[in-house]
Structure 1
């Protein structure tokens, strides 16, 4: 019995490693060619794998994009674990800047993020991860303004996330030389909104 378990574990580890390699390859292909032009064959070639190996783990490129987005969501979740503690000493303006900077840094580190964010089939995201982030933001906002109810702080968190999300698509569509200006405008807009909601 124990021998069977010992044999299965390495096989599982190999499978997880292979999935990670395929997703890393898909990230490159998607960032370079976009979703529509991406093919399973291109992902296989980038990974140095057979097309059969790709289909062993993913039914189609929509499934690949969905898996990548789940991976991105999990990473983003980890980045915000200690959000309240990490932002306690910041002013509201600095807080807004931090939120935007974290998102921009993430986009730059994962150039396929915007591609998969708007790919078909990826609208079914991990609700738990999204809710955790919203709740963490709400806790930060309530610590800044105790007069905010739980419902109000969650609303502010929701709108904050929506503002940042809207920046993602505009950032992707903007020319490289325009992006710095766009980011600064979003920082100003978010800072103005949070200042009005967190004052007092």
Structure 2
């Protein structure tokens, strides 16, 4: 199990250095992959000393986890925006299509995020982080569905919200391991699966 962060930055200068290291790690992971990356390469890319890096991160896996937390926060913000009360008047199919598309765009535009997502099966801490993120997104979606259809039993609604998130997450893990043509087809099928699952009730 990877060690936790040595310290969380408190001062502005330390936060800047912390984020510079994460930015550099993202670039290194994109260029050489996680397995070939090293703390030395990341420190050089961040234009900092290896000692400065080790002030925050005990090893490479701790950097991976911290970067994963950053991307998880960005994804959560994305879903907060999609499943906002201002979108209650939109057709459910449009909202689900947008959610799948924006998540797909996020990973398409962030190779490092995709690498971390695909690496998550090998790291218990990343698995825990992904489960927490899925649960948080499910709560956000459940709140949205409750506003949309308040007469649905709460237990059933919560289960369906969680099912949608887990189905989408599992299919996403599957389609990022396929060639681009098949990947696009699975993205389309993912939308259809979610729409057909929810539309009879919501």
TM-score by length of 2: 0.82
DSSP 3-state at the match of 1:147: coil
1:29 aligns with 2:33: no
Question: How many residues are treated as equivalent by the alignment?
Answer: 189
Q: TM-score, normalised by structure 1?
A: 0.83
1:94 aligned partner: 94
Say if 1:136 and 1:13 are closer, same or farther in 2 by CA, change over 3 A.
same
Shift of residue 105 of structure 1?
1.8
Pick the aligned partner of 2:171 from 156, 161, 167: 167
CA contact (8 A) 2:40 2:50 kept: yes
CA RMSD for the aligned pairs? 2.3
User: Which residue of the partner structure matches residue 152 of structure 1?
Assistant: 156
Paired position in structure 2 for 1:176: 180
Change (3 A) 1:151 1:161: same
In the alignment, which residue of structure 1 is the partner of 2:107? 107
- Residues 57 and 63 in structure 2, CA contact (< 8 A), matched pair in contact too: yes
CA contact (8 A) 1:107 1:113 kept: yes
The match for 1:44 is 43
Where do 1:55-74 residues align within 5 Å?
55-74=54-73
- Offset at 1:130? 4.7
Query: Distance in 2 between the 1:26 and 1:66 partners?
Result: 11
Unaligned 5+ segments in structure 1 are: 1-10
Aligned to 2:3: none
Gaps of 5+ in 2: 1-9
What does 1:3-18 correspond to in 2, within 5 Å? 12-18=11-17
